[in-house]
Amino acid sequence: MTRRHLWICALATLLVAAEAHSADTPKKVGIIKGTITIAGKPTADVVVSVEGIPAEVAKAQMSAAKSRKAVLDQRELKFIPYVLPVLVGTTVDFPNNDKNWHNAYSKSDAKKFDLGLYAPGKSRSQAFDKPGVVRVLCNAHPTMEAFIVVKEHPFIAAPDKRGNFRLDGVPLGKFRLQVWHPQHGTTDTGVAIVRDGEVVDINFDLKKK
């Protein structure tokens, strides 16, 4: 083997090692968490999201996302949960766990669909392939209403019953933390993750806009 061939082989080995090291190197990320309230009372009826994530990061995270399935239950003449955050491409099941026949439909720009009336114990599904807010109704029961918020990145969450939310794996950088509520609209604030492992606490009271 000539000296030139040896040099090429050595270079190739270094490149492979560098790629392996890069793949094994953990990404630098932080956590954003907090509590959402309305006039001081905790609420779960919002979607919290990190906006301004670089497109390439969002795309990579979307590609790594697991099977996209979600459930919007129908029970006691209600859609549960009232607000449901999902990723683009998610299929949402609409099981009828009530004693009445139900329907789920929407005329929203982000997704127009109509699942028709179906009996208790049955379930139907719908895929959501475009970002936006989808208002879901039941034509058999006008008081039934829910909102599906479809995002093109996985940095989204719905708070628990105590209003607590947590967003893990947020990359370093300056972004906007956005809170969307069906009646109170959108509220946001600037947020920055400047070092690996940083935990940022941000609380919102939607009556104090």
The tokens for 151 are: 């995002």
The tokens for 23 are: 């793949």
CA atoms within 13 A on the CB side of 47: 27
pLDDT value at residue 58? 83
pLDDT value at residue 67? 64
Q: How many CB atoms lie within 10 A of CB 39?
A: 9
How far is it, in rounded angstroms, from Cα 145 to Cα 143? Answer: 6
pLDDT value at residue 86? 96
Q: Which helix (H) or strand (E) holds 59?
A: helix 55-64
How far is it, in rounded angstroms, from Cα 51 to Cα 189? Answer: 10
pTM for the whole structure: 0.84
Domains, in order of start, for the chain: 27-205 (2.60.40.420)
pLDDT value at residue 6? 39
How far is it, in rounded angstroms, from Cα 170 to Cα 48? Answer: 13
pLDDT tens per residue, the chain (209 residues)? 554 443 434 334 333 334 433 334 447 999 999 999 999 999 999 999 999 998 888 888 877 766 689 999 999 999 999 999 999 999 999 999 999 999 999 999 999 999 999 999 999 999 999 999 999 999 999 999 999 999 999 999 999 999 999 999 999 999 999 999 999 999 999 999 999 999 999 999 998 65
